[in-house]
Structure 1
Amino acid sequence: MDFYLGETFILTFGVPEVSDVIAMADHSSDAGDSSNDGDISSVMGFSGFGKKARTFDLEAMFEQTRRTAIERSQRALEERQKQEIEESSVSRPVSHTEKPSTSMSRKQEADSSSSSDSDSDVIGPPLPPQKEEDEDDDEDVVGPPLPPGYKRSTADSDDDDDDDDDDDNPVKKIPDTHEITLQHGTKTVSALALDPSGARLVTGSFDYDVKFWDFAGMDGALHAFRSLQPCECHQIRALQYSVTGDVILVVAGNSQAKVLDRDGFQVLECVKGDQYIVDMANTKGHTAMLNDGCWHPKIKEEFLTCSNDGTVRTWDLTSEKKHKSVFKPRSLQGKKVTPTCCTYSRDGKLIAAGCQDGTIQIWDRNLSVHTKFHCRQAHAPGSDTSCLAFSYDGVTLASRGGDDTLKTWDIRSFRKPLNVVSGLTSFFPMTDCCFSPDDKLLVTGTSVRKDEGNGKLLFFERQSLQKVYEIEVADTSVVRCLWHPKLNQIMVGTGNGLAKVYYDPVKSQRGAMLCVVKSKRKEKHAETLTQDYIITPHALPMFREARQRSTRKQLEKDRLDPLKSHKPEPPVSGPGRGGRVAAHGGTLSSFIVKNIALDKTDDSNPREAILRHAKEAAENPYWVAPAYKKTQPEPLFAEEEDEEEEGDKDQPEWKKRKI
């Protein structure tokens, strides 16, 4: 488009901006005043472009733009006021006297500032109504300004109130709406472990097996992708992933703990100590059965084990020849005590052990001689403390005793328990307890005898240990429980070989939710009839095999071939042939029984049936006589008939010989 301003031609491409037009007009007025400027059009070659461009009244255009913007703003304001009147229950009615003037002044200022950027043909739009509502609402509501595009409403406040209620009530955060069951075996699941990311689950049992479950790789069949026996014929006591999730600690009924990688291959096996040394601190490893073990929460190479030899030892993954340090629990009389469970504090600075005499002893990790905290009568003497668990804030310690109790302790005042719950039956030395991810609940399981009820997963409020919720798991004992903070899912190990996973599709994420949506894979049947196709490119045509077109067609073809399909021979009909007997029997004995022994055609006396062939055998000997013809002398039989007859004449009739 060409503009003619005074004696100046201006060539523009596209639609000119209003600010550019104003600048050009000012420049042209200055150029008209100076007499030294020549004919720019002739100098720059614009004189041959043709007709003259139109002229515009810029002031009239600006005024028209301003009036149109004001009218549109007033129209939008009236519509907004009508909507606010209709929704008076939601927000305060808008004043009709003050708002238009203020909004009009704002629109005039905005239009005057934006009019320089508007197009000559297209009039710029007014401010968005949503922004006006935000400004008006901000004037009425006291508080910090809201982000652009966000509108205050009572619905949001109601949702916030509901969220606050959910935050205050930790029971609503328990993910128990759905569950899946993993069949480990038939014996007690005595160990559970989840890696830090929650992608893999490891289960151990009294049947010596350790099974690996991958939630992302499983389908609806819920089968483990690997099963192994790392400690041969020893029961699995504890399993745990390291803080990085790359290795697994395996504690079994033997004296040597093992460390496996994520695929089940052995990385480390702890050394066994000398059982003939009296002082267990002078041996390089444990000498008796292990009871428990765990990883350091901060140092990925360090782990902890406790054993029946009366020691708690720390190990380093980089040195397998010897333990790192030794802690020896002692009774009040200074005698050796067996630790049944052990754990690190959340910061890794403390090491706690529950002992067989009912005591709980806590050491500083760097000082292994004397205990830092000690409670002599934590649980009943002679009962095995099965679990110790620190809260996430590191202040509270929970202990699950073999005396069917659950206690919480404040390590800053360790003489008396904070709260006690009794009557929690426990039959297993590894029945454990754990804290919820928000640190407000304490979870443990109960044991039952066979056909005497259901094992339950109990939830207690941390501060008062009041039971707030329970889940009936199965008609067997609940041994292990684990609440993963990242997945927000609860894993439970039972006494009948099941591992159950509880989750909520809304509150939980990943984990079991990845495998339940997958359908079961179809089983691949063994293709026993198919033969490998051998490619022989240089073979002669008479020896070359035909190329297989399809496996299915080849299977159908091989099925028709009696040799390839190993088709059994049909039964013989009629008389036997080729050494095979007819259909009456498959063996020679059955043939004899069928045709000779059970032949009832001859009902005569067997003796008479044999003597019937005597004359023929005497005249034409074939079987017996020719065999003994050369060696057998001529038989000479005594003539007893005459003597018998003479003797019989003299004897009475009743004494005669009976033949």
Structure 2
Amino acid sequence: MEQPGKDNDADLTTGPDPELAATMGFSGFGKKARTFDFNAMFEQTRRTAVERSRRVLEEREKEAAQKERELGSQRDGVHRATASSHTIPRRPSEDSESSKSEDSSDEELIGPPLQPQGPVEETEDDELIGPPLPPGYNEEEEEEEEGTMQDEDEHPVKKIPDSHEITLHHGTKTVSALGLDPSGARLITGGYDCNVRFWDFAGMDASLQAFRSLQPCECHQIRSLQYSSTGDVILVVSGNAQAKVLDRDGFPIMECVKGDQYIVDMANTKGHMAMLNSGCWHPKIQEEFVTCSNDGTVRTWDVNHDKKHKEVFKARSAQGQRAVPTSCTYSREGKLIAAGCQDGSIQIWDRNMNLHTKFHCRQAHAPGTDTSCLTFSYDGLALASRGGDDTLKIWDIRQFKTPLNSVTGLPSFFPMTDCCFSPDDKLLVTGTSVKKGGGHGKLLFFERETLKEVHEIDVTDASVVRCLWHPKLNQIMVGTGNGLAKVYYDPLKSQRGAKLCVVKTTRKGRQAETLAQDSIITPHALPMFREPCQRSTKKQLEKDRLDPLKSHKPEPLVAGPGRGGRVGSHGRTLSSYIVKNIALRKTDDSNPREAILRHAKEAEESPYWVSPAYSKTQPTPVFAKVDSDEGETDDKPEGKKRRI
């Protein structure tokens, strides 16, 4: 019989086919892959852990026995020899430990043993799993830390980043639009002054200056600004009928087409024909955005097709008449489009059925007021609306007939007053408006479930129009009615954003060095060609003062008629000079022809102005002679009469 070990050796040396190996001329096709027996390895590891635990327990027993021996020798000095010759009886705890050590062979001790920290009492069901606990570990402190973390989770007010703030000066008029890219690197502000300013947190210093300002829509107020989901393009909605799309640097990419104002059916026009009110990007599709207008429609657009809208939704009142949508937004999934109208209704359409609304509430807000903002929660189940009737309401789209909760007494003077959810979806934020000299505009925080006010921030002595809470930066951007854009942050809770620019020192402006005269330095020039090096302008000014031509005082105006190239005080302008010196001058020339011909003789004798200029190029003039004799006969031909 062949032994298995020999078969294995033959396989390693000769391979599976010795004849083929001999024919090919080599001894084998290589060694087999090494195999591992994981069960044996685990069993070996378990045995090693058990042996190590047993040795540790034996050492602990020896230490305890040594301590007990020393105590016994101190208590009974007479029987020291007897105690040393006999074994010391163990305590019940030691007996239990020894029994446990005997039973430990049957238990599975996984991982390294605990570090010796005095006698340890164990039960039969205890197993040593994992590494030993670090020294100084206290379970009570760990429980306290967990309790504080739970308190912070239970109190979302502590997560509000309002300990620090910076102020960005947009202008003197209302900041009516705010936009922040998804990464939080750039902020854009737009206002009633028709300007759009770009702010780069990483490129700014402590002076907080915008790096670009432009007017994309000429003289129209900016009503909405938003970055796309990828942050590479910007949607600009202004007071005209055409929305624009800009790139990150502000250069135009696309402009929506304007509709035909003579077509009655708004579905047959290619675009809006009245002023825009709001707009936003699709959360999933980066090329699509939606706008709403005073023409009573909500239209979706594609950046790559600017000749016509993509879809159109008509807002209708309860009587079937046209309703003006003042705000519009997408749901978080992009499947629903919601619009707040001037008749107080909130209408929500499904993308698959754009003819009729899927959800609507006719009495959401007071009729005749502008619903300034609609925003969906991050979980997509709640909808918050900020009405022009000084209310804030939260709705459940599954039961859209009545609001879950509402808050009244929140003044709103602007048709774009914002509201937004916190990143953890537990708070709802909005701003209040104030009249000039009527107090401070505030930023209010409400609980989402009960709409109970939990926190407020005094922003400035003007209205709070826009608010934006970025989830990645954990910073709050606020636009006010006096042209300021404020950023609230916390050094510990916030990331990047405003923290990047406040730590940079203000750059000092370089003063341009002005020289009176550029000097050319030629060190090896001959002395006769060298120019004196001018080191200071003071000496040059002193030399110019001594120069009679450079320091010549202008001659004053003469009181009489002008002479010597100077005009009299009454002839400072050409018209006054003509009136005073020519038109009103009295002459004795009764016949103008005689007045002109009196200079003819002098001009023939000494020509000065005209004749010398043409003397070399012009020929001598020859005039026709006409005989005027009275005795001329009729037979002679008459000379050709000159036409007069």
The RMSD of aligned alpha carbons is 4.0
Paired residue total: 474
CA offsets, 1:275-333, max 9 Å, x none? Answer: 11111111111111111000011111110001111110000111111110000101111
Match of 1:335 among 285, 299, 321: 321
**Structure 1 equivalent of residue 148 of structure 2:** 162
Evaluate the alpha carbon distance shift between residue 345 and residue 310 of structure 1 in structure 2; reply closer, same or farther with a 3 A threshold: same
**Which deviates the most, 95-104 or 210-219?**
95-104
How much does 1:507 deviate? 1.2
**Structure 2 equivalent of residue 405 of structure 1:** 391
How far, CA to CA, are the matches of 1:141 and 1:153 in structure 2? 22
**Structure 2 equivalent of residue 479 of structure 1:** 465
Q: Which amino acid in structure 1 is aligned with residue 339 of structure 2?
A: A
**Structure 2 equivalent of residue 296 of structure 1:** 282
* Paired residue secondary structure (2:417): coil
Match of 1:202 among 181, 188, 198: 188
How much does 1:70 deviate? 6.2
CA contact (8 A) 1:246 1:261 kept: yes
CA offsets, 1:215-269, max 9 Å, x none? Answer: 1111111111111111111111001111111111111111111111111111111
**Structure 2 equivalent of residue 560 of structure 1:** 536
CA contact (8 A) 1:70 1:104 kept: no
How much does 1:488 deviate? 0.8
CA offsets, 1:180-220, max 9 Å, x none? Answer: 11111111111111111111111111111111111111111
Q: Which amino acid in structure 2 is aligned with residue 339 of structure 1?
A: P
**Structure 1 equivalent of residue 256 of structure 2:** 270
Evaluate the alpha carbon distance shift between residue 494 and residue 143 of structure 1 in structure 2; reply closer, same or farther with a 3 A threshold: farther
**Structure 2 equivalent of residue 322 of structure 1:** 308
CA offsets, 1:620-657, max 9 Å, x none? Answer: xxxxxxxxxxxxxxxxxxxxxxxxxxxxxxxxxxxxxx
**Structure 1 equivalent of residue 486 of structure 2:** 500
CA contact (8 A) 1:447 1:478 kept: yes
Q: Which amino acid in structure 1 is aligned with residue 536 of structure 2?
A: L
How far, CA to CA, are the matches of 1:148 and 1:534 in structure 2? 82
> Unaligned 5+ residue runs, structure 2?
1-50, 68-91, 527-532, 560-644
Evaluate the alpha carbon distance shift between residue 136 and residue 440 of structure 1 in structure 2; reply closer, same or farther with a 3 A threshold: farther
Evaluate the alpha carbon distance shift between residue 571 and residue 143 of structure 1 in structure 2; reply closer, same or farther with a 3 A threshold: farther
**Structure 2 equivalent of residue 426 of structure 1:** 412
CA contact (8 A) 2:100 2:124 kept: no
**Structure 2 equivalent of residue 516 of structure 1:** 502
Q: Give the alignment of 1:272-287 within 5 angstroms.
A: 272-287=258-273
**Structure 1 equivalent of residue 475 of structure 2:** 489
CA contact (8 A) 2:61 2:94 kept: no
Match of 2:221 among 216, 235, 240: 235
**Structure 2 equivalent of residue 370 of structure 1:** 356
CA offsets, 1:440-461, max 9 Å, x none? Answer: 1110000001111000000011
How far, CA to CA, are the matches of 2:121 and 2:219 in structure 1? 73
CA contact (8 A) 1:529 1:558 kept: no
How much does 1:74 deviate? 3.7
* Paired residue secondary structure (2:513): coil
Match of 1:442 among 428, 437, 446: 428
How far, CA to CA, are the matches of 1:514 and 1:191 in structure 2? 23
CA contact (8 A) 1:138 1:145 kept: no
**Structure 1 equivalent of residue 173 of structure 2:** 187
Evaluate the alpha carbon distance shift between residue 493 and residue 148 of structure 1 in structure 2; reply closer, same or farther with a 3 A threshold: farther
CA contact (8 A) 2:113 2:131 kept: no
CA offsets, 1:431-489, max 9 Å, x none? Answer: 01001111111100000011110000000111111111100000110000001111111
CA offsets, 1:481-524, max 9 Å, x none? Answer: 00111111111001111111111111111111111111111212
> Unaligned 5+ residue runs, structure 1?
1-64, 82-94, 114-125, 544-556, 593-659
TM-score (ref. length: structure 2): 0.66
CA offsets, 1:100-158, max 9 Å, x none? Answer: 65897799999xx9xxxxxxxxxxxx97755x679969979999966665656211111
* Paired residue secondary structure (1:468): strand
Evaluate the alpha carbon distance shift between residue 562 and residue 148 of structure 1 in structure 2; reply closer, same or farther with a 3 A threshold: same
How far, CA to CA, are the matches of 1:168 and 1:143 in structure 2? 36
Evaluate the alpha carbon distance shift between residue 241 and residue 144 of structure 1 in structure 2; reply closer, same or farther with a 3 A threshold: farther
Match of 2:403 among 392, 413, 417: 417
* Paired residue secondary structure (1:243): coil
Q: Give the alignment of 1:125-144 within 5 angstroms.
A: 130=115
**Which deviates the most, 156-165 or 502-511?**
502-511
Evaluate the alpha carbon distance shift between residue 271 and residue 71 of structure 1 in structure 2; reply closer, same or farther with a 3 A threshold: closer
Evaluate the alpha carbon distance shift between residue 137 and residue 513 of structure 1 in structure 2; reply closer, same or farther with a 3 A threshold: farther
% identity of equivalent residues: 65
